[in-house]
């Protein structure tokens, strides 16, 4: 009889080890809504975090949302978690939202953001003054296509990403036309096509991403960003217009509805613990965008290979 009870106990322990750990008693059973955006790295961050929270026994829902417009939903609690707010494009929106006390900054992801005009090294031969931005004034035609000539063409990111490139062109009096790519995929298809043909191109490239790893190139060096550049027209070389500088660089933050901590304390703690590096993220994005792997498969492989790491995020 004792032996039977021992066998049953061992079987129960074995079964328990296969089950996800229970969420804390005071975690709501309502779904935590994580926002999804239109670039691969953010999808990776959100889905990895979502899968980790599922392992903690929480209910997860993914919601497609505009990058900047999502802050309205975070303030009201209609959505709950945004895994990537970039200092380059989302700093002002995040600070404004946090100031309302309806949104909380959950800290840095560990990734460092760069988003700027970028050109392949072969274009430096046609515009020798690069990476100094003033060289673009002298050789804009080298970046032109028939539709923009004699002006150069700058391929910008999807307009919903922000970035103030149209304003930057005007403030710095650059003889360029800004043509926004419709999607993240279209942006990098343009780079791939131009690079293969050694064709003229200058475009929005960001890191962490596979592009600045795969291709040899440089970011344009604009006047260094200061916050006054975006808010005070008198700052900088153009005394009448703002945005006469490059884009800010810095952290990528996690943000959440301020009610997350009380409603889902397990999630609040885990998201604060989430941490990645640029190289790690660039590799995962490359597996999806370049190698053609499915997002779910890449996330599942990462979860399998990094179990001790993500278990620490949820206190395991």
pLDDT digits (tens, 9 = 90+) for 136-177: 999 999 999 999 999 999 999 999 888 899 999 999 999 999
94 lies in the same domain as 166:
no
| 225, 119: one domain | yes
Alpha helices (H) along 19-164: 40-55, 70-76, 91-99, 122-126, 135-138
Is the same domain home to 178 and 226? yes
| 256-266 per-residue burial string, b: 16 or more CB within 10 A, e: under 16 | bbbebeebbbb
Do residues 255 and 225 share a domain? Answer: no
Residues 204 and 295 in one domain: no
Q: How far is CA 162 from the centre of its chain?
A: 13
For the stretch 5-39, pLDDT in tens is 444 444 444 444 444 455 555 899 999 999 999 99
What CATH number has the domain bearing residue 43?
3.40.190.10
Please tell me whether residues 96 and 118 are part of one structural domain. no
127 with 190, same domain: the answer is yes
Whether 13 is in a domain gets the answer no
User: Do 61 and 82 have their domain in common?
Assistant: yes
**Can you spell out the DSSP letters for 6-49?**
HHHHHHHHHHHHHSPPPPPTTS-SSPEEEEE-SSHHHHHHHHHH
Q: What is the CATH number of the domain that holds 169?
A: 3.40.190.100
Q: What pTM was estimated for this model as a whole?
A: 0.80
Query: Distance between CA atoms of 196 and 200, rounded to whole angstroms?
Result: 11
Residue with tokens 């206190």: 315
The per-residue pLDDT for range 201-254, each reduced to its tens digit, is 999 999 999 999 899 999 999 999 999 999 999 999 999 999 999 999 999 999
Task: Show the domain range for 205.
Answer: 114-231
- Cβ pair 89, 115 in contact under 8 A: yes
Number of domains in the chain: 2
CA distances from 101 to 38, 81, 104, 207, 268 (A): 27, 15, 7, 30, 16
């Amino acid at each position: 009889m004792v032996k039977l009870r021992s066998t049953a106990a061992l079987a129960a322990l074995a079964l328990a080890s296969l089950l996800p750990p229970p969420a804390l008693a005071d975690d709501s059973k309502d779904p935590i809504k994580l926002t999804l955006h239109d670039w691969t790295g953010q999808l990776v961050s959100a889905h990895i975090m979502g899968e980790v929270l599922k392992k903690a026994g929480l209910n997860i829902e993914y919601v497609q949302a505009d990058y900047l417009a999502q802050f309205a939903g975070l303030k009201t609690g209609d959505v709950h978690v945004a895994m990537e707010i970039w200092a380059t494009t989302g700093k002002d929106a995040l600070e404004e939202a946090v100031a309302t006390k309806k949104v909380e900054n959950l800290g840095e992801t560990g990734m460092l953001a760069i988003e700027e005009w970028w050109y392949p090294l072969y274009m430096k031969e046609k515009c020798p003054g690069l990476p100094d931005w003033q060289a673009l004034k002298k050789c804009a035609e080298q970046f032109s296509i028939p539709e923009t000539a004699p002006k150069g063409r700058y391929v910008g990111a999807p307009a919903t990403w922000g970035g103030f490139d149209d304003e930057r062109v005007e403030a710095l009096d650059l003889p360029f036309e800004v043509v926004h790519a419709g999607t993240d995929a279209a942006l990098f298809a343009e780079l791939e096509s131009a690079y293969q043909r050694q064709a003229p191109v200058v475009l929005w490239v960001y890191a962490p991403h596979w592009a600045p790893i795969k291709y040899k190139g440089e970011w344009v060096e604009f006047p260094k960003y200061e916050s006054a550049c975006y808010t005070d027209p008198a700052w900088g070389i153009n005394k009448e217009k703002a945005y006469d500088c490059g884009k800010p660089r810095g952290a990528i933050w996690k943000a959440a509805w301020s009610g997350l901590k009380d409603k889902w304390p397990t999630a609040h703690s885990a998201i604060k613990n989430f941490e990645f590096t640029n190289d790690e993220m660039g590799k995962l994005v490359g597996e999806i965008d370049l190698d053609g792997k499915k997002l779910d498969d890449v996330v599942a492989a990462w979860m399998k290979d990094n179990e001790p790491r993500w278990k620490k995020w949820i206190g395991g």
